[in-house]
Structure 1
Amino acid sequence: MNMHKKFKWLTVLVAAMLVIMTGCQSVGGLDINKAMLTSLDVKSSESSASIRFEAVPADRALSSEDKEAIELINSLSLNVDRAIVQDANTVSIQGSVHYLDKKIPLHLSMDPKGMAIQLEGAKQPFYLSMDTTVPGMPDTSQYEQAIQDVVKKAAGLVLKHFPNPTKIAVKSAQEKVNGESLNLTHLHMELTGEEILTMFKPFAESLMKDEAGLKQLIGDAYDAIYPMMVSIGEAYGEDVELLPQESKEEVVASLYEIVHGSLAELTENYDEQKDQLLEEFPGGDTVFGKDTVLKLDYYFDEQLNTRKNAVELTVALPASEDMPLKSFKVYSEGEVWNIGSAVKANKVDTSKGALNVLSESVTPGQVLRNFEKNSTIYNVLKDDLKITHRSLYLDTNEDLVYPVIKKNNQTFVPLRYLTNRLDAEVKWAKGSKNITVINDLTGEEIKLTVGSQKATVGGKSVTLQAAPFVHSDGSTYVPLRFMAEALGATLHLEGDGWIIIERD
């Protein structure tokens, strides 16, 4: 990777870090670095939060589609009425998502095994398994805490070397948290897009001089990762091929030289590289300009726990014919209480089953049928997000290679080709010519027999104009119009032999 690409990716990484936390030196008696690091500690607690978005229209005439999109964005919000952190692996969240004039209540809980989400109107909660165990591989969960500790140490090193933003202030404040009036320390910071780029150089120069800090971090990372790699290597039945052959001291020295050399290379011609980045990144001078602003407000108690926070991020966008926005804003706020107390997460009830959304067999129809038809989320998924919509294009011209056969003035397609694209399930009666196709939208069965014009749809008998047949290539072909319409789709005949199959 050349020097400019390194600079570009590191700049993006640093910018992302600054959105989450801004490293500073002590101000007004508040050890900001320590306070920020304290916020990374996972402690039992209860909290509430909200997040909303604002798309600011460009100063020009907009299309109706752009106006609708902006209205949609500006209507989105997430309200967390109550979040409970029982421990690092056990959490519950109860709140609602707001979308146009719709409100969708939700209940989410997570434990080491997975995450369950209950949405209002759902017959069963959705479930996302977090079991990443690979058969034959060792359980590496015992090493997770050591790796998390290294990540925190890395954050501490980053914070230690970042300079203060130009706008920063600390003062005492009395604020209400969960209805209780508290004496807190208020930290306010503002950071512009311009400042993000100007802060990077002194940060890199300061970090480059901290040989002891860099080597300590690299050594800590080695100590955290090495035992895990040994365990994995033993599981493979190999010696230490996955591991460095050098001693820890040699590995630390080698990696330190790489990191130090990269920092020196990046800072040597920093201003020229910055100018080149802005030239090559269209609109970069706007995004990283004075109108991009991050405002942070943190309220700390005497133990440096964050009890209340507010974030306002404005990203200025370059003017262009393709960009209907002048800027994009994100607002969030929250408060925390019962820190360190014996609180218990409110788990989603999965005792009566759950729908595993990560399973490859879960179809849009299954997801939709999991909701009551009169529920808000059902209409959002079907009408707004259109999760069941499908569109296929077929060409019946014989000179082109398409899975279409014309026979006795009927158009046939391979059964699997059509059912796969319309999310339908196919079942064969072993040793017979009987086929059962399950409509993904309704769950009803369509029964066919190879060589017969008799069929049933949802238990009702129908007579086909032509029978399904097995082609010379081994594929079973079915009448296109019948099967498409039985699966809830419609056919549109276009010019030049094109057929459009659509399903809402």
Structure 2
Amino acid sequence: MKKFKWLTVLIAAVMVIMTGCQSVGGLDINKALVTSLDVKSSESRSNLRIELVAADKTLTPEDKEAIDLINSISLNIDHAIVQDSKTLSIQGSIQYLDKKLPMHVFMDSKGMTIQLDGAKQPIYLAMDTTVPGLPDTSQYEQAVQDVVKKAAGLLLKHFPNPSKIAVKPVQEKVNGESLNLTHLQMELAGDEILNMIKPFAESLLKDEAGIKQLIGDFYDAMAPMIASISEAYGEEAVLLPQETKEEVIASVYEPIILSLTELVEDFEGKKQELKEELPEIDTVLGKGTVLKLDYYFDGQLNTRKNALELTVALPASEDLPVKAIKVHSEGEAWNFGGAVKANKVDTSQGVLDVLSDSVTPGQVLRSFEKDSLVYNLLKDDLGISHKYFQFNVSYVDLGDSAISTIKKNNQSFVQLRYLADQLDAEVKLTKGSKRITIINDLTGEKIVLTPGSKKASVGGKSVTLSEAPFVHTNGSTYVPLRFVAEALGATLQLEDDGWISVERK
């Protein structure tokens, strides 16, 4: 885990710097960036791509292939519509190598529906966050969002400007319309980041009223929600050990000020400690790491266009085939506050709820055309149908074990239910008959067996078994392992240690 701690430090620092600036050239940058946190009805388009810069060494074919693949990926949003804070739609595509995957996403308070090219039904992701037995806390969401904005505003107010920053009036086209905008341009090198922490802390220390106000606002936003949850449990509502808002503010304010004071008084020492603990930070937060930002604001401080280019330098490593990661994005937005309506995904033919516990790999694959990009991606590249498990053939006395085999005339038999579960097959019993139908999860093909009979069928074609399935004394039905496993698309391998491995790709 320690190898990745520097990445956390970087992300936290860059996110703060990206949104931390004071007034320049008449533009209230603090207010402009806080305004960008408001969710307003709007339309937009954007794109995002990630680029890996190969290390200065000979790459293995596998590393080169992986880098080329990642560098070919891009997310293109052709048209996004934000109807309100909970309702939006996105139409665009994901591209990689020479392939393009069109997509249409619709999200509301109930869930997210995703239509992908080649899908017979849209994918549905339920987003119901309510917990059985607890009250609905959605009424408090706006208050929580408001206090988050206030926290961002306080941090932005005190964070110093990077050394390279400029503001100028420009004329730019947005969605084909020529607009008079204010262009904010910033550039920040990684070696500036640590040196900006101390002046930030010194400035924040002087704002006692601002810190206490934020703590109080947080109390006001959270107290009703926590009290509602406590009441649902039938217990006395307790937010914090203190009984009054003033006591809460005092108890939270004191450790914040103490931490800021210690940081200011021994900043060089703490910076050295950080470098000793994370020696990679000299590279990650060095001159090779650069963030370039361009914002274009209109008269109401709405962000009409934006562009980001982030280069993160990575420490040299034998295990790491890249020396830097680059992120590129740009976008434009229009129709702020307009009467827009998100484009819903057509669900008239039903949906596939992939979060359902009962959904199987076969159900997912069958929801796509076999020649579609997603089908091949899921099956071949992601291997969602892959299964691998083993049976013990040396342990003859089954007892309570469900993964051992029973030998009968030199043929291995296994418990039907266990084998079916492992391969996601559905088992149906014919009422009034001993006949058993096993449905192949990937193909939907039916395998019909009858305990005590050597007659069977696969996909409607009759076959004769060398040994009949049987019901064990423990009440479980046992079937020929090789016959059923292969009929369900798996292959068998007898290992040197006496175990039988079963694999389906």
TM-score class, shorter: over 0.9
Contact 1:396 1:402 in 2 (8 A): no
The DSSP-based 3-state class of the residue aligned with 1:461 is strand
Query: Please, which moves more after superposition, 487-496 or 175-184?
Result: 487-496
Contact 1:309 1:335 in 2 (8 A): yes
In the TM superposition, residue 168 of structure 1 has moved relative to its aligned partner by 1.1
- Provide the residue aligned with 1:449 in structure 2: 450
The DSSP-based 3-state class of the residue aligned with 2:484 is helix
1:306 aligns with 2:270: no
Partners of 1:217 and 1:456 in 2: how far apart? 72
1:54 aligns with 2:51: yes
User: TM-score if structure 2 supplies the norm length?
Assistant: 0.92
Query: Please, which moves more after superposition, 254-263 or 302-311?
Result: 254-263
In the TM superposition, residue 228 of structure 1 has moved relative to its aligned partner by 1.2
Aligned AA (1:204):
A
- Aligned residue among 265, 273, 278 for 2:275: 278
Contact 1:183 1:301 in 2 (8 A): yes
Aligned AA (1:121):
G
Partners of 2:481 and 2:113 in 1: how far apart? 40
- Provide the residue aligned with 1:17 in structure 2: 15
- Provide the residue aligned with 1:131 in structure 2: 128
Structure 1 residues 410 and 162: alpha-carbon distance in aligned structure 2, compared to 1, 3 A threshold = same
Partners of 2:366 and 2:120 in 1: how far apart? 9
Q: Deviations 1:194-214 (Å, cap 9, x if unpaired)?
A: 222222232233223322111
List structure 1 runs of 4+ shifted beyond 6 angstroms. Answer: 7-10, 399-402
Contact 1:14 1:200 in 2 (8 A): no
1:403 aligns with 2:392: no
In the TM superposition, residue 235 of structure 1 has moved relative to its aligned partner by 1.9
Query: Please, which moves more after superposition, 255-264 or 320-329?
Result: 255-264
1:408-487 paired onto structure 2 within 5 Å: 408-428=409-429, 433-471=434-472, 475-487=476-488
- Provide the residue aligned with 2:284 in structure 1: 287
Query: Please, which moves more after superposition, 276-285 or 342-351?
Result: 276-285
Q: CA RMSD in A?
A: 2.5
Partners of 2:457 and 2:89 in 1: how far apart? 47
In the TM superposition, residue 455 of structure 1 has moved relative to its aligned partner by 2.9
1:492 aligns with 2:489: no
Partners of 1:9 and 1:328 in 2: how far apart? 12
Structure 1 residues 219 and 241: alpha-carbon distance in aligned structure 2, compared to 1, 3 A threshold = closer
Structure 1 residues 172 and 455: alpha-carbon distance in aligned structure 2, compared to 1, 3 A threshold = same
Partners of 1:253 and 1:466 in 2: how far apart? 80
Q: Percent identity?
A: 70
Q: Deviations 1:319-366 (Å, cap 9, x if unpaired)?
A: 121111111111000000111111111111123311111111111211
The DSSP-based 3-state class of the residue aligned with 2:317 is coil
In the TM superposition, residue 390 of structure 1 has moved relative to its aligned partner by 2.1
The DSSP-based 3-state class of the residue aligned with 1:496 is coil
Partners of 1:272 and 1:210 in 2: how far apart? 25
Partners of 1:158 and 1:473 in 2: how far apart? 68
Query: Please, which moves more after superposition, 464-473 or 193-202?
Result: 464-473
Partners of 1:81 and 1:9 in 2: how far apart? 31
The DSSP-based 3-state class of the residue aligned with 1:118 is strand
Partners of 1:453 and 1:266 in 2: how far apart? 80
User: TM-score if structure 1 supplies the norm length?
Assistant: 0.92
In the TM superposition, residue 173 of structure 1 has moved relative to its aligned partner by 1.7
The DSSP-based 3-state class of the residue aligned with 1:80 is strand
Structure 1 residues 49 and 140: alpha-carbon distance in aligned structure 2, compared to 1, 3 A threshold = same
1:202-281 paired onto structure 2 within 5 Å: 202-241=199-238, 244=241, 246-281=243-278
Aligned AA (1:424):
A
The DSSP-based 3-state class of the residue aligned with 1:25 is coil
Partners of 1:440 and 1:205 in 2: how far apart? 63
In the TM superposition, residue 443 of structure 1 has moved relative to its aligned partner by 1.8
The DSSP-based 3-state class of the residue aligned with 2:444 is coil
Unaligned runs of 5+ in 2: none
1:360 aligns with 2:361: no
- Provide the residue aligned with 1:390 in structure 2: 387
